[in-house]
């Protein structure tokens, strides 16, 4: 699977660990940065991840920052991105099954590497449920305001 991964400075170590692990599993991983632990702005990297999902560079995305909150908000600014903040595998699986999420966000200050791997595993292994969920997902892209 083609997976894009991005973080801010607070999650650089988690990003590197997940990227290496995903490559070892045979996935095509695009690391959107940053490359160092120098302070950066998480919206810049969230927007890069959303663009990679929107243009088809990536099928799935992983967004990381200190809490996961800020970068998830940034990714979700794009109408073709559906990024769910997760901290355990059930939420990651439900994000795919019910919401057709194409990205997950996690907080490096709140989750360990092994739990992050468990979340990613559940996210990648779960298919969208369709049916009754499809009309709801359609409303996420075209809201009735």
State the catalytic residues.
65, 98
| Exposure string over 88-122, b if 16+ CB within 10 A, otherwise e | ebebbbbbbbbbbbbbbbbbbeebeeeebbebbeb
Q: By the 8 A CB rule, do 71 and 45 touch?
A: yes
The annotation status of 28 as a binding-site residue, yes or no, is: no
The annotation status of 132 as a binding-site residue, yes or no, is: yes
The annotation status of 68 as a binding-site residue, yes or no, is: yes
Torsion 16-18-20-22 (CA) sign: negative
The annotation status of 72 as a binding-site residue, yes or no, is: no
The annotation status of 99 as a binding-site residue, yes or no, is: yes
Whole-angstrom CA distances from 2 to 38, 62, 83, 88, 143 are 27, 11, 16, 22, 29
The annotation status of 8 as a binding-site residue, yes or no, is: yes
Residues flagged as binding site? 8-9, 66-70, 99, 109, 132, 136
Residue positions forming the annotated binding site for D-ribulose 5-phosphate? 8-9, 66-70, 99, 109, 132, 136
């Amino acid at each position: 699977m083609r997976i894009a991964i991005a973080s801010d400075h607070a999650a650089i170590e988690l990003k590197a660990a997940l990227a290496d692990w995903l490559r070892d599993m045979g996935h095509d991983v695009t690391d959107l940065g940053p490359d160092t632990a120098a302070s950066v702005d998480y919206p810049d990297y969230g927007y890069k991840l959303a663009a990679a999902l929107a243009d088809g560079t990536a099928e799935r995305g992983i967004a990381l920052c200190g809490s996961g909150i800020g970068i998830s908000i940034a990714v979700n600014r794009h109408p073709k991105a559906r990024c769910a903040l997760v901290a355990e595998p059930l939420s990651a699986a439900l994000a795919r099954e019910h919401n057709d999420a194409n990205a997950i966000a996690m907080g490096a200050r709140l989750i360990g590497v092994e739990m992050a791997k468990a979340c990613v595993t559940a996210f990648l292994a779960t298919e969208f449920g369709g049916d009754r969920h499809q009309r709801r997902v359609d409303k996420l892209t075209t809201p009735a305001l």
